[in-house]
Amino acid sequence: MAELADVAHAAAEHGAEGQTVQEYITHHLSYLTYGKFPDGHWGLAHTPEEAVSMGFMSIHVDTMGWSLFIGAAFLLFFRYVGLRATSDVPSGIQNFVESIFEFVESQVNSGFNYKNPHVGPLCLTVFVWIILMNTMDLVPVDWLPEIAMAVGGLWGLEHMSFKVVPTTDPNITMGMSISVFFLILYYSVKNKGLGGFLSELAFHPFGKWMLPFNLIIEIPTLFAKPVSLGLRLFGNMYAGELLFLLISGLLGAYQLPAHFVWAVFHLLVVPLQAFVFMMLTIVYLNAAHEPAHGDH
């Protein structure tokens, strides 16, 4: 970080309101947090330090709010289109939504080999929701936080943080991947039976005489699924957002071409990460539906 700090000092004049670049970026990477202060009362944190002091008993109002808003908007929009959909030649908006629907459905059909009517909706929800949350990082990094600060100033929160890309919050990505993990556990036990599920952990891949080794291999494998699923999405989006912030904080007036290049690159990353999340969900759930291996 030493070099970064040097650059930051050199570019300090460009920073808004005399902030250093480091302060600028830290501010952008903090959350608008509502939670329980160490002294026991609940309220909005005014500084990142206060937010950290709240620990687990707090909620990120900004990322959580955007996540809920985006998810609800997408589902209501799809329902709106679905209610007006006809089986005749589709046009305009219906065509657009149907193409997304068909894309997800074909992925589910090809990747998921069992009968479960709930997997399709799950994948549609996850795919579109994540795409839209990721897309928030194409909004210029200062627009929404500046508006939020202007509004927050009315209540004495003129320095509040306001994070707009939900998938750069590990709580959001891990919240989804842990949900998928619970589904993996649920469907595994449901389809293989508890015994079948546990025997997969204990007696594979080396048979029952190597049980400890099997457990050492299989249990981390199982837990790696939600962690990799959530952290992959988080890592990609966080890194992307950080680079946007660096460009914005360091380059001053010359940032536009760099922003453009990085945004174009991100046009690829945004759907790709959503697609990867969906495909892995399909693969994991498919594995959870596979019948238990033969007796050992």
Task: Summarize as ranges the residues that interact with other proteins (CB under 8 A).
Answer: 33, 35, 51-52, 54-60, 63-64, 67-68, 71-72, 75, 78-79, 82-83, 85-88, 97-98, 101-102, 105, 117-118, 120-122, 124-125, 129, 169-172, 174-176, 178-179
Cα dihedral 254, 256, 261, 262, rounded to 10, equals: 90
Are 199 and 154 a contacting pair, CB within 8 Å?
no
- Our CB check for other proteins shows the closer of 162 and 203 to be 162
Residue 228 is among the residues annotated as catalytic for this protein: yes
58 sits in which H/E element? strand 58-60
C-alpha–C-alpha distance, residues 194 and 14, integer Å = 61
| Residue among 53, 179, 191, 232 flagged as catalytic | 232
Smallest separation (angstroms) from other proteins to the CB of 18: 27
Q: Which of 56, 53, 58 is nearest to 35 (CA)?
A: 58
List 33's β-bridge partners, or say none.
60
Residue 236 is among the residues annotated as catalytic for this protein: yes
- Our CB check for other proteins shows the closer of 8 and 274 to be 274
- Our CB check for other proteins shows the closer of 67 and 107 to be 67
Residue 214 is among the residues annotated as catalytic for this protein: no
- Our CB check for other proteins shows the closer of 105 and 218 to be 105
Smallest separation (angstroms) from other proteins to the CB of 79: 5
C-alpha–C-alpha distance, residues 130 and 165, integer Å = 10
Are 196 and 296 a contacting pair, CB within 8 Å?
no
C-alpha–C-alpha distance, residues 24 and 18, integer Å = 10
Smallest separation (angstroms) from other proteins to the CB of 116: 11
Q: How many CA atoms lie within 13 Å of 265's alpha carbon, on the beta-carbon side?
A: 13
- Cβ neighbors of 24 (< 8 A, separation 6 or more) are 15, 16, 245, 248, 249
- Our CB check for other proteins shows the closer of 169 and 200 to be 169
| Residue among 95, 99, 109, 228 flagged as catalytic | 228
Smallest separation (angstroms) from other proteins to the CB of 66: 11
Smallest separation (angstroms) from other proteins to the CB of 120: 6
| Residue among 30, 134, 161, 236 flagged as catalytic | 236
Q: Which of 20, 18, 17, 19 is nearest to 9 (CA)?
A: 20
For residue 95, the SS3 value is helix
Q: Output the DSSP codes for 206-266.
A: T-GGGHHHHHHHHHHHHHHHHHHHHHHHHHHHHHHHHHHHHHHHHSGGGHHHHHHHHHHHH
- Our CB check for other proteins shows the closer of 67 and 188 to be 67
- Which residues are known catalytic residues? 228, 232, 236
